């Protein structure tokens, strides 16, 4: 018993030994929110919108805060918990009627005179972060702003294939980064190789359910969803002067394609060789989800058969020309294509070229009443198991998941934020937001299980055989199911 008391004494003593007390007056708080390293953002509270800066951005970076006092004009509010610093990314100092107010743990405190808190400063001062996909420059700017304000050394590295590189380094027992930007399809491989850690313990905002689903495996969350791309239909406004409005159908798509079918024009083009563009049709022809209740993928089922037959019939009639992305883009830019299916990431690119194009949601299958379900491709930040600075990495994760970064990063790149509240910000500069937002609840999430990658790789060659006429639909799907059974033990 004496030994236990002694250990407890030294634990409490060490906390107070390294703890510091901080006091910020209203003038100091106002100066901090106006700092050049702080970019104010919009935040909502009880259906009202405010402009302000998060406590994580303006206050010293803390490992923990166990006492927090808010002093207003007429009252003092004290909170004492051991994890108060976990709420700072979602807590905002905002201006209201010329005075400072504080949104903290879903409460609004008006007319702030002082804020006082006690806790332990962050000891770690350096991180390494791997970035990939679009928006590298913009992400580096956001991370560098955070690093400058807190006097940190954060190394940001662009890595084209972060999943395979991380696994290789872990296996070789090399030095790994602290945070890695990853897509959901690689989660299972990363978990099995013990490359990333589950992050259920991190205090996170209210994220879109499909984003959490994309990075949840075995009941645990392995990444903080950051943004996602969706699939849409692009059309050439010079060729299609009267595009459909609202809900439209595959039948209408075919009718438009026939109206512009001539020797100088490709009516419909997309990468039909890829399973990513087969999946929307599988859903439209009756498949409820890509993975079944056993987390397996069935290839030789009726919805997939009908979907593939439909695509082959479009091709046979001369309406669809399967083409990989680079060739498709070149023809669309040249004005020789009526409609293409592509990712929402293409919107800024086409806009930068000054193309006269429009965007439509995917059509509905009039026979089943089901829409083509766009594939939602989420990207997230994952924390490596071997990170040397887990607390600092956690703070950067919380900063990246906060509304400020998401509302600055996502709109210019036509990305959809992983948190729904950002989509509701009034006046957010989003092109085609209403169309992109429709996919949040109707899309099919790229699953985190490795079986998806197996399915994607197996179907890549088989779809080419089917679309070239070298294999029938039945032969294609039977061979696909055999490959799935042999590689996954279905």
Residue 107 has pLDDT above 70, yes or no: yes
| Phi-psi category of residue 485: left, alpha or beta, with phi > 0 → left and psi -120 to 50 → alpha | alpha
Segment 72-106, tens digit of pLDDT:
988 999 999 989 999 999 999 999 888 999 999 99
pLDDT of 71 higher than 60: yes
- Contact criterion met (CB below 8 Å) for 430 and 436: yes
Residue 442 pLDDT:
86
Q: Is the dihedral of CA 435, 437, 438, 443 positive or negative?
A: positive
pLDDT band at 69 (very low <50, low <70, confident <90, very high): very high
Residues forming beta bridges with residue 77, ordered by sequence position: 70
- C-alpha to C-alpha distance for 437 and 119, rounded to whole angstroms: 41
For residue 15, pLDDT over 70 is answered with: no
Question: Is 256 exposed, middle or buried, given 0-12, 13-18 or 19+ CB atoms closer than 10 A?
Answer: buried
pLDDT at residue 440, as a whole number = 86
For residues 200-227, average pLDDT: 93
Whether residue 276 contacts residue 375, with contact meaning beta carbons closer than 8 Å, is answered with yes
Reported confidence tier of residue 7, pLDDT bands at 50, 70, 90: very low
Residue with more model confidence, 431 or 286: 286
Q: Chain-wide mean pLDDT for the chain?
A: 93
Between CA 131 and CA 409 the distance in angstroms is: 14
| % of the chain residues with pLDDT over 70 | 96
128-42-44 Cα angle (round to 5): 115
pLDDT at residue 5 greater than cutoff 70:
no
Query: Are 375 and 443 a contacting pair, CB within 8 Å?
Result: yes
- Cβ atoms 279, 377 nearer than 8 A: no
**Model confidence pLDDT, tens digit, residues 157-187:** 999 999 999 999 999 999 999 999 999 999 9
φ, ψ of residue 138 to 5 degrees: the values are -70, -40
Domains of the chain: 15-121 (no CATH), 126-226+379-410 (3.40.190.10), 231-373+450-488 (3.40.190.10)
Q: Which residues pair with 112 in a beta bridge?
A: 72
pLDDT in tens, 255-266: 999 999 887 899
Quick: pLDDT tens for 339-386: 999 999 999 999 999 999 999 999 999 999 999 999 999 999 999 999
Percent of residues, the chain, with pLDDT higher than 90: 84
3-state secondary structure the chain: CHHHHHHHHHHHHHHHHHCEEEEEEHHHHHHHHCCCCCCCEEEEECCEEEEEEEHHHHCCCEEEEEEEEEEECCCEEEECCCCHHHHHHHCEEEEECCEEEEEECCEEECCEEEEEEEEEECCCCEEEEEECCCCHHHHHHHHHHHHHHCCCEEEEEECCCHHHHHHHHHHCCCCCCCEEEEEHHHHHHHHHCCCECCCCCCCCCCECHHHHHHCEECCEECCEEEEEECEEEEEECCCCCCCCCCCCEHHHHHHHHHHCCCCCCEEEEECCCCHHHCHHHHHHCCCCCCCCCCCCCCCCCHHHHHHHHHHHHHHHCCCEEECCHHHHHHHHHCCCEEEEEEECCHHHHHHHCCCCEEEECCCEECCCCEECCCEEEEEEEEEECCCCCHHHHHHHHHHHHCHHHHHHHCHHHCCEECEHHHHCCCCCCCCCHHHHHHHHHHCEECCCCCHHHHHHHHHHHHHHHHHCCCCCHHHHHHHHHHHHHHHHCC
The CA distance from 52 to 101, in Å, is: 9
Average pLDDT over residues 432-460: 92
* 117 closest CA partner among 60, 73, 34, 72: 60
Burial of 141 (0-12, 13-18, 19+ CB in 10 A): middle
């Amino acid at each position: 018993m004496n030994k236990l008391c002694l250990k407890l004494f030294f634990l409490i003593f060490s906390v107070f030994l390294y703890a510091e007390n901080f006091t910020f007056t209203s003038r100091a708080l106002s100066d901090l929110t106006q700092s050049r390293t702080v970019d104010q953002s919009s935040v909502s509270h009880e259906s009202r919108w405010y402009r302000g800066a998060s406590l994580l951005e303006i206050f010293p970076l803390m490992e923990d805060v166990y006492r927090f006092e808010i002093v207003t004009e007429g009252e003092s509010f004290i909170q004492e918990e051991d994890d108060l610093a976990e709420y700072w990314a979602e807590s905002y100092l905002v201006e209201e009627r010329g005075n400072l107010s504080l949104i903290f743990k879903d409460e609004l405190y008006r007319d702030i005179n002082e804020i006082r808190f006690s806790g332990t400063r962050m000891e770690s001062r350096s991180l390494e972060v791997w970035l990939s996909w679009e928006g590298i420059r913009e992400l580096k700017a956001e991370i560098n702003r955070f690093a400058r304000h807190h006097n940190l050394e954060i190394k940001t590295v662009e890595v084209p294939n972060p999943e395979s590189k991380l696994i290789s380094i872990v296996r070789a027992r090399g030095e790994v980064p602290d945070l890695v930007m990853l897509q959901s399809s690689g989660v299972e491989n990363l978990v099995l190789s013990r490359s990333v850690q589950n992050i259920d313990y991190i205090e996170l905002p209210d994220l879109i359910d499909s984003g959490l689903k994309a990075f949840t495996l075995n009941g645990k969350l392995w990444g903080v969803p950051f943004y996602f791309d969706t699939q849409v239909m692009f059309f050439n406004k010079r060729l299609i002067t009267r595009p459909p409005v609202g809900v439209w159908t595959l039948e209408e798509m075919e009718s438009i394609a026939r109206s512009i079918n001539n020797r100088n024009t490709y009516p419909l083009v997309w990468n039909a060789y890829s399973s990513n563009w087969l999946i929307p049709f599988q859903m439209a022809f009756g498949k409820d989800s890509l993975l079944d209740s056993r987390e397996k993928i069935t290839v030789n089922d009726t919805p997939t058969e009908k979907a593939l037959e439909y695509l082959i019939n479009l091709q046979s009639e001369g309406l669809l020309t399967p083409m990989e992305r680079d060739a498709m883009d070149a023809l669309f830019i040249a004005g020789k294509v009526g409609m293409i299916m592509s990712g929402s990431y293409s919107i800024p690119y086409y806009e930068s070229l000054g193309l006269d194009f429009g965007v439509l949601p995917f059509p509905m299958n009039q026979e089943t009443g089901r829409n083509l379900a766009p594939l939602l491709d989420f990207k997230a930040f994952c924390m490596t198991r071997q990170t040397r600075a887990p607390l600092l990495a956690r703070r950067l994760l919380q900063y990246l998941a906060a509304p400020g970064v998401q509302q600055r990063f996502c709109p210019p790149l036509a990305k959809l934020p992983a948190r729904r509240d950002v989509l509701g910000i009034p006046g957010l500069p989003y092109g085609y937001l209403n169309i992109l937002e429709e996919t949040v609840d109707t899309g099919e999430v790229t699953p985190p299980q490795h079986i998806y990658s197996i399915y994607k790789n197996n179907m890549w060659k088989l779809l080419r055989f089917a679309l070239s006429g070298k294999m029938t639909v039945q032969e294609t799907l039977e061979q696909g199911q055999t490959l799935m059974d042999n590689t996954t033990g279905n």
